[in-house]
Amino acid sequence: MPPATPKRRNAEKTQQAILDAARQTFFEKGYDAAGTREMADRANVNVALINRYFGSKEGLFKKAILPELNIEFLLAGDMADFGQRVANMFAAKTGEKEFDPLVALLRASTSKEAIPLLRQTVEDQIIKPLALRLNGNTAHERASLIVTQLAGYDLLNRVVDVQTTSTGGTEDMVRLLGKTLQDLVDRV
């Protein structure tokens, strides 16, 4: 039965609910496999409202996921211990189920429709800002290699769920990944 009080109308809250549901759904299922009906149900909202407010699924993806891409957490801090700091963060979030924009991007990275959006986002929002923090004339290449390493790390560990560590803990992995990243910061 429908609620006795027929639910107050509030466009802003509705759009926010759609955005939240979309973020979670895109994060869990990638782009293609994330259905608009599922998102609408999660947001307790009619499907048609997605198109009304965001134009299309692609428009929703743009507003829900792309702005979440914030690599401040990567750049904030001394570059002298960038490697260990970042390695720790990435190792710590292995197995984490909460929304992570990077993983959302990875899960969408094989979708024809999403790829053009991803390409620009990765170049402008991730590689370029990171390259600006590096010294030397190969800054862009080294920034790219840092990003490819981190993308591959998250892809295997969190998307495909591959076993990358052998015995016991992750200390070895953190140390090795940290050293690899730091070498790229320090000009290899």
**Residue 38 CB neighbour total at 10 angstroms:** 17
Query: CB-wise, 50 or 147, nearer to DNA?
Result: 50
What does 30 interact with, of its own copies, DNA, none (CB < 5 to 8 A by kind)?
its own copies
Q: Is 38 one of the binding residues for its own copies (CB under 8 A)?
A: no
Q: How far is the CB of 15 from its own copies (least distance, A)?
A: 27
The C-alpha atoms of residue 53 and residue 77 are separated, in whole angstroms, by: 38
Q: Is 22 one of the binding residues for its own copies (CB under 8 A)?
A: no
Q: How far is the CB of 56 from its own copies (least distance, A)?
A: 18
The C-alpha atoms of residue 91 and residue 175 are separated, in whole angstroms, by: 10
Give the contacts of 44 (CB within 8 A, at least 6 positions apart).
Answer: 17
Q: Which of residues 74-113 bind its own copies (CB under 8 A)?
A: 106-112
The C-alpha atoms of residue 60 and residue 19 are separated, in whole angstroms, by: 7
Q: How far is the CB of 148 from its own copies (least distance, A)?
A: 4
Nearest to 143 by CA among 79, 70, 62, 69: 79
The C-alpha atoms of residue 19 and residue 24 are separated, in whole angstroms, by: 9
Q: Is 172 one of the binding residues for its own copies (CB under 8 A)?
A: yes
Residues of this chain that interact with its own copies (CB under 8 A) are 29-30, 32-33, 106-112, 115, 118-119, 122-123, 127, 138-142, 144-145, 147-153, 155-157, 159-166, 172-173, 176-177, 179-180, 183-184, 188
